[in-house]
Homo-oligomer: A and B are copies of this chain.
Amino acid sequence: MPDNTTSASNAAASAADRAYAEIRGLILAGDASPGTPLREEALADIVGVSRTPVRDALRRLEVELYAVRTPGGRLVVADWDSDDVAEIFALRAMLEGHAAARAARRATPAQLAELRHCNAAIEAAVAIEQPDVARFLAENRRFHDIILSASASARLSTMLAGLVEQPIVRRTATRYDRADLARSAHEHSQLIQAFAAHDEDWARAVMTAHIRRALHAFQDATPSK
């Protein structure tokens, strides 16, 4: 199982972090389908820690709406229908657009260089015959993270953390053909231009378009759900 989608199952991390990663993994892998109750003790057994860090993890998952609370206070795996996904992309478009605008005002030459370097890696990953999708995803995430840190808003970062669903991004990207991936890289370079020009509106517009294209790619890739 080479799995473990996003940040790895860092054995060194705290018990709460491991619990979070593992439970989230269960949900995203579909092992815990929507509606499945998330019982603290059972999960504690699975993860191999006590209930305390599991509770911690569940609270985080609840904030990020992976889990929802029943009227009585029990947690169950949330059901994301296509409307939810569309809403996630809409919010991402707004918030990342805002982040891009802020980044355009604040980006330092060092950050610009980092972005250029990162996007070069993306272009390299998609230029070859069989695009290296894993590499694309990793660098793509890094690209967006750099922008987020350039935006210098802790609030934006925490809000987007629960919104940027790497699994969704992955499902989108795996359906991209090479032309799509190349277009994505091109949009990134447009973003860098906007940052270099310190043009907030331009940056916002490009980012918004970038994300909304991803939404439609995702919708085209999924039957209807």
Enumerate chain A interface residues (CB-CB to B < 8 A): 56, 59, 63, 65, 68, 84, 87-88, 90-91, 94-95, 98, 153-156, 158-159, 163
Q: What are 11 A-to-B residue pairs whose CB atoms are below 8 Å?
A: A56-B59, A59-B59, A63-B63, A63-B158, A84-B155, A87-B156, A91-B98, A91-B155, A94-B94, A155-B163, A159-B159
> Which residues of the partner chain B approach A163 to less than 8 Å between Cβ atoms?
155
- B154 and A68 within 8 A (CB): yes
Main secondary structure of the interface of A (DSSP, over half): helix
> Which residues of the partner chain B approach A56 to less than 8 Å between Cβ atoms?
59
Interface residue from B59, B65, B90, B98 paired with A158 (Cβ < 8 Å): B65
How far is A155 from B163 in the complex, measured between Cα atoms in Å?
Answer: 9
- B156 and A91 within 8 A (CB): yes
How far is A113 from B153 in the complex, measured between Cα atoms in Å?
Answer: 38
- CB-based nearest B residue for A94: B94
Instruction: Known A-B contacts: A56-B59, A91-B156, A159-B159. Give 4 more (CB < 8 A).
Output: A87-B155, A88-B155, A91-B95, A94-B98
How far is A95 from B65 in the complex, measured between Cα atoms in Å?
Answer: 17
- B154 and A65 within 8 A (CB): yes
Interface residue from B87, B98, B155 paired with A65 (Cβ < 8 Å): B155
> Which residues of the partner chain B approach A90 to less than 8 Å between Cβ atoms?
98
- B153 and A87 within 8 A (CB): yes
> Which residues of the partner chain B approach A63 to less than 8 Å between Cβ atoms?
63, 158
- CB-based nearest B residue for A159: B159
Q: 6 closest Cβ contacts across the A-B interface?
A: A94-B94, A87-B153, A63-B63, A65-B155, A87-B155, A159-B159
CB A5 to nearest CB in B, in angstroms, measures 16
> Which residues of the partner chain B approach A68 to less than 8 Å between Cβ atoms?
154
> Which residues of the partner chain B approach A91 to less than 8 Å between Cβ atoms?
95, 98, 155-156, 159
> Which residues of the partner chain B approach A98 to less than 8 Å between Cβ atoms?
90-91, 94
- CB-based nearest B residue for A91: B155
CB A97 to nearest CB in B, in angstroms, measures 9
CB A225 to nearest CB in B, in angstroms, measures 17
How far is A65 from B87 in the complex, measured between Cα atoms in Å?
Answer: 24
> Which residues of the partner chain B approach A158 to less than 8 Å between Cβ atoms?
63, 65
